[in-house]
Structure 1
Amino acid sequence: MEFQISLAQLREAHERIKPFIHRTPIMTSQSLNAIAGCELYFKCENLQKIGAFKARGGLNAVLSIPEEKRATGVVTHSSGNHAQAVAMAAKTCGIPAYIVMPNNASSVKKSAVAGYGAQITYTEPTQAAREAAADKIMVETGATYISPYNDYKVIEGQGTSALEFLEDQPDLEMLVIPVGGGGLLAGTALSAHYLKPEIKIFGGEPEGAMDAYYSMQKGELVPNKITNTIADGLLVSLGDKTFAIIQKLVSEILVVSDKEIADAMRLIWERMKIVVEPSGAVPFAALLKNKEKFAGKKVGIILSGGNVDVSKLPF
C-alpha cells in the first residue's frame, strides 16, 4: 500500500519538533484494567505542551514552511486545541498567528490562544463561517493557511505520538484513538502500519458528530450536517487526506453517547488522578462499550487532551 507519508517523513517530523514538545508518559491503572477486562496503556497527550497532542501537528506544519514565506504569518480555524498549537508554534518562530475561533469555544481555550499573542477572530460556530473568515484573512495578510487536520504536515506531526508509543510499548496489540477531523487517527494508523502492521486500529467517535462512522460505512466522505456533543474537540468532519488513510488502515469506528463519554471521563479523573477533556475520554468510552473486542488484549489509548473548563464539568 502506497501512502503520501512515509516512515522516513514521520521520523523527520519527530526530529523537527522534538526540541519543542514533551515525550509524554504512558500510564497504567490496575483498577481500570479490571473494569475494562484488558491491559490498558494510556499515552498522556493531555500532559503535552498546550495540553493536547495538537502541539505536534501545529509545530511540524509551521516549522515546515520555508523561511521566506514565514514572515507573513499563519492562519487557521479551530475550536481550541489546534488554535493553541498554531499560536504556540508561531510564537516559537516569532511570526504572526491569525486564529479564527467559533464564538462558543470554551473560555479556557480562548484565553490560552490569546495568551500566546495570537490575533483572534470570532465567528458563528459553523464550518462555513470559520473557513470564510480564514480565507478573508489569508487574502488580506498573505498568511499561510494551516488546516486543523487535512494537511500532510499536520498528519505527520500527529503521527509522532504513536511513533513514541510503539517505541516505548512495542507489545501493544490494539490502539483506540479519538476521531474528529482525523489527523491523529490517520497519523497514528500510518505509524502503526510502518512499525507494527499487525496491530488493529479503532477510532472512537461521539454520536453527536459521527461522520467518520458513516463515511466508513458508505466508502465515501459523509460530512456532519449538524453536531451536538460534549466532545468539543471532535466536531469537525474528516478531510479527504485523512479519510484516504483511515479508510485503508482503520478496522472500525466505535460510536459512543455523551453519557458514556462523561462516565469514562469521570473514571479517568477518579482512578488515574489526571485531567482529561471529553474528547480525550472518547476512546476509553468506546472500549468500555465494546469490551468483547478487547478482552485480554494489550490496548493502547491516546488521551488526546486535557483542556477542560472545570466550571462546566459533565459530572
Structure 2
Amino acid sequence: MPVDCQDDPVTATQQDLVRLDDIRDAAARISGLVVRTPLLPCPWADELWLKPESLQPIGAFKLRGATNALHRLDLDHRRAGVVTHSSGNHGQALAYAGRALGIPVTVVMPDVSTPLKIEATRGYGAEVILVPQASRETVAKQFVTDRGMTLIPPYDHPDIIAGQGTVGLEIFEDLSNVDVVVVPVGGGGLSSGVATAIKALAPHVAVIGVEPAVAADAAESLAAGVVRIWPEQRMLSTIADGLRTPLSELTLAHLSAHLDAIITVAEDEILDAVKVLARRGRLITEPSGAVTTAAVLHHRDELPAGRTVAVVSGGNIDPRLAATLFTD
C-alpha cells in the first residue's frame, strides 16, 4: 500500500530547500553537456509516458546534478579536484562532467558495485577506489582532509538536487497536462528535485515515489518523520543497487514537503519491468531505473488516475543480469 508523506519539512527549514529558480538556473548551466531526453508515449500502457534518462551519455540522470555542481565550483576548487562516494552512476556522471570541464575526479566505490559501472567510471578518467560498502563515505571524507579535494555527494547537496530537478522541468514543458509523475527514490536527490519542480509549476500534479519493498527505508523515514537507516545486508538484498542508500535530512525535508506518497515494488516486479521496457519499450534499463514502470504495471490501483509519466532513471544494467533476463 502507498505511504502518504507529511505535509511539511521535517528537519531542514524552508530556507534550506531548493527552489524553482535554482532548478531553472541549473537547466541553463547544464545545457549542451546534458541530453534533453524525450517523453516517449507507450502504446502498450494507457496514458503512460516514459522519461528515459537511460539515454544520457553516461546512461543515467546523475549527469544533471554532477554537471551543475561542478559548474558551481570556483577556479581554486576546480584545480584541487573533487571526490565522491558512489555505487556507480553518480561516479560515472562526475567523472564524465569532470573530464569535460577539466576537473580531476576521485570516486570511492563499494567493492560490490557492478564491474560495468567500475570500468565505465575509470574509462571517463576518474581515479576509482574500491572499499567495503559501509566505508565509502568515511574514505571519501579522508580524501578531503588529505588532498584538499571538494566532496560532491551523490544526493545530499542543493546543487545536486537542483540539477536533478531539471528532469521535472522537462516533463512539464513536454506534457503540461500531466496528472501523475512517478519517480524512483534512493537517496532522494532525483525525487527531491523532480517533486520540487513539478509542485512549483503545477501543485495539483501528484508526485509519487517508488522504492523496492525489501529496501523500503524511505517509506519508513517519511512515515516516521526522521531518517531511518536500515542494516547494510538488508539494503543489499535488492537487485536495484542504485536505490540502496538512505535519505539524508535534506532530501527527507524536500520529500516531506513535496512528495504525495511512496509505494513499494517487489523484486520480481522490478525484473519483469526491466524485460517489458526492453521488449515493448525498446529501452535497456537497469533495475533501479525500472521501479517506476514496475509500479505502473503491477500497482496501477495504488496510483492516481490520469496521464502518467514514469521516470526511467538509468540503463546501466549488469551484462550478466541482462543475459539471464533476455535469453528466453
TM above 0.5: yes
Identity of aligned residues (%): 38
Paired residue for 2:214, among 200, 204, 208? 208
In structure 1, the residue matched to 2:198 is 192
Report the Cα offset of residue 285 of structure 1: 1.0
Look up the SS of the partner of 1:272 in the other structure.
coil
Q: How many residues align?
A: 308
The 5-angstrom pairing of residues 1-315 of structure 1 reads 2=14, 4-31=17-44, 33=45, 38-126=46-134, 129-226=135-232, 227=235, 228-294=237-303, 296-313=305-322, 315=325
1:235-280 C-alpha deviation (Å, 9 max, x unpaired): 1000111110101211111111111100111111110111011001
Code of the residue aligned with 1:260 in structure 2: it is E
Code of the residue aligned with 1:154 in structure 2: it is I
In structure 1, the residue matched to 2:4 is none
Look up the SS of the partner of 1:237 in the other structure.
coil
Q: What is the alpha-carbon distance in structure 1 between the residues aligned to residue 257 and residue 304 of structure 2?
A: 24
Report the Cα offset of residue 294 of structure 1: 3.8
* 1:180–1:205 contact (8 Å) kept in structure 2: yes
Which structure is richer in relative contact order (CA contacts within 8 A, separation 6 or more)? 2
1:69-110 C-alpha deviation (Å, 9 max, x unpaired): 210000000010000011111111112101000111111101
* 1:75–1:137 contact (8 Å) kept in structure 2: yes
Q: What is the alpha-carbon distance in structure 2 between the residues aligned to residue 131 and residue 120 of structure 1?
A: 14
Report the Cα offset of residue 288 of structure 1: 2.5
Which sections of structure 2, spanning at least 5 residues, go unmatched? 1-7, 9-13
Which sections of structure 1, spanning at least 5 residues, go unmatched? none
Report the Cα offset of residue 293 of structure 1: 3.6
* 2:180–2:305 contact (8 Å) kept in structure 1: no
* 1:39–1:296 contact (8 Å) kept in structure 2: no
* 1:224–1:236 contact (8 Å) kept in structure 2: no
Code of the residue aligned with 2:202 in structure 1: it is K
* 2:180–2:304 contact (8 Å) kept in structure 1: no
RMSD of aligned residue pairs (Cα, Å)? 1.3
1:158-204 C-alpha deviation (Å, 9 max, x unpaired): 00011011101111101110000000000000000111111001111
* 1:74–1:144 contact (8 Å) kept in structure 2: yes
* 2:67–2:97 contact (8 Å) kept in structure 1: yes
